[in-house]
Amino acid sequence: MGAHGTRIVDEAFADFCQRTDLPDFSFIGVHGIWSWISDANRAVIVDFVRRKLRVGGVLYISYNTQPGWAAMAPMRDLLAEHAHVMGAPGTSMAGRIDAALAFAERVVESNCQYAQANPQIGARLKRLQSANRNYLAHEYFNHDWEPMSFTRMARWLSAAKLDYACSAHYLDHLPALNFTPAQNALLQEQPNAMFRETVRDFLVNQQFRRDYWIKGPRKLAPAEQAQALQAQRVMLATAPADVAMKVKAPVGEATLTPAIYAPVVAAMADHQVHTLGDIWQHLQTGVQPPAVSFAQLTEAIMLLAGTGDVVAVQDAALAHRARPHTDKLNRHLLGMARHHADISCVASPVSGAGVTLSRFHQLFLLAMLEGKTRMDRPEPAALAAFAWAALLAQGQRLLKDGKPMDVAQDNIDELTVQATEFVSRRLPVLRRLGVVD
């Protein structure tokens, strides 16, 4: 798409990893790969990381893990085997998936002992029925598929001289969201950090891990950590009124403390870039002693980042250089929204990451870029008309209570309501994120 320095290749792992024109890397990402390839390909990747990741470099890797997959693993094998041996010749992969799911439901409904011992399987199959078939083909019907315990992953990566750093999922770092007091006490009793991760996975029934590993890590001194945290740049990425004061967690639904989160959100309500140090200074103004400690502020920012309400912000110079390339990429992605809803993100040069955006919101942005309304003062009616024309061309309708809305004006009215809210609440944030002018 023309992103700065991006090179996209289509090569087997063994071929790519033996190329001699590749630089050494400070960061390597392996997402949606490890659990769905053979041991031979895993060995190729580990060897590549060993040779090409710089000392001090970071590996991000995600993978299916145990024990969260323990109950579903036999059902996955049944689904994949049915698609392989029972699929009619010439049947598409989507057709094979549909047939396999239908057969699996018959097995569960037969009151088999497996389903009785694992009552959650029936509900899980129901959810799979409505999932995207391309996703299911990758997740459940791949030739190679193996959920791996954290301990086994550590053994694999030891050959690349990597040490575990931390989870890449912000909410994993908040014990109160993940463990009961007794569970947290049990976890903290474990002196071995690696074994502690294995115990953690049992406590939360972990199904999918996203981890950072470092080659030759060096731990910052406490003062250095505090300085780095205070310099961290962040931005509120949702309207303040849209910040949910409740979050779902392994221990159940947790309610955020208003005395902490309300002033933190208010300090960032202008959607400007702030450092944690700036926010901390703001929260101390006129309040003695401070109502929110720096530790509480750090935890609040981490939680809000985990829910997507706050984003980390990269250096302004990097954002400026990235802007022409994200503009080009976003224009392409928004054009795709005219025909389908497969892509649910656009790119932000400010955060250097993706921004979740519904298809309708993408169509509203596309209407603005194509001059259907003024960029500085977009009219919700014009945005709705554009989105409705795109849906109409595809023979699509909006849904209400799970049923299509057959009357055209009903569709337009609903789109206008959504466009009005988009202009007033979502668009200002997208402007700050550099998604649109």
- The whole-angstrom distance between residue 106's C-alpha and the CA centroid of its chain comes to 33
3-class DSSP assignment, residue 266: helix
* Residue 347 DSSP one-character state: E
pTM across the whole model: 0.89
- The pLDDT of residue 161 is 96
Q: What are the DSSP E strand ranges found in 203-268?
A: 208-215, 233-236, 246-249, 252-255
Cα gap 264→307, rounded to integer Å: 15
- DSSP of 20-87, one letter per residue? SS---EEEEEE-S-GGGS-HHHHHHHHHHHHHHEEEEEEEEEEEE-TTTTTTTHHHHHHHHHHHHHTS
Within 216-320, strands assigned E span 233-236, 246-249, 252-255, 274-275, 310-312
* Burial class of residue 251 in the structure, from the number of CB atoms within 10 Å of its CB (0-12 exposed, 13-18 middle, 19+ buried): middle
Q: What's residue 4's pLDDT? A: 54
Q: How much of the chain is helix, strand and coil, in % rounded to 5? A: 50, 15, 35
Residue 2: per-residue pLDDT: 40
- Report the distance separating Cα 170 and Cα 384, nearest Å: 36
Q: Can you give the pLDDT of all 437 residues of the chain as single tens digits?
A: 344 567 888 999 999 999 999 999 999 999 999 999 999 999 999 999 999 999 999 999 999 999 999 999 999 999 999 999 998 788 899 999 999 999 999 999 999 999 999 999 999 999 999 898 999 999 999 889 999 999 999 999 999 999 999 999 999 999 999 999 999 999 999 999 999 999 999 999 999 999 999 999 999 999 999 999 999 999 999 999 999 999 998 888 889 999 999 999 999 999 999 999 999 999 987 665 667 899 999 999 999 999 999 999 999 999 999 999 999 999 999 999 999 888 999 999 999 999 999 999 999 999 999 999 999 999 999 999 999 999 999 889 888 888 888 889 999 999 999 999 999 999 999 999 999 99
Amino acid 289: pLDDT:
63
| Contact predicate 275/233, CB 8 Å | yes
- The token duo for 403 is 């049923």
Residue 209, token pair as written in the block:
């891990």
Residue owning tokens 């959920």? 147
- Whether 318 contacts 233, CB under 8 Å: no
Instruction: Give the pLDDT confidence score for residue 290 in this predicted structure.
Output: 67
3-class DSSP state of 199: helix
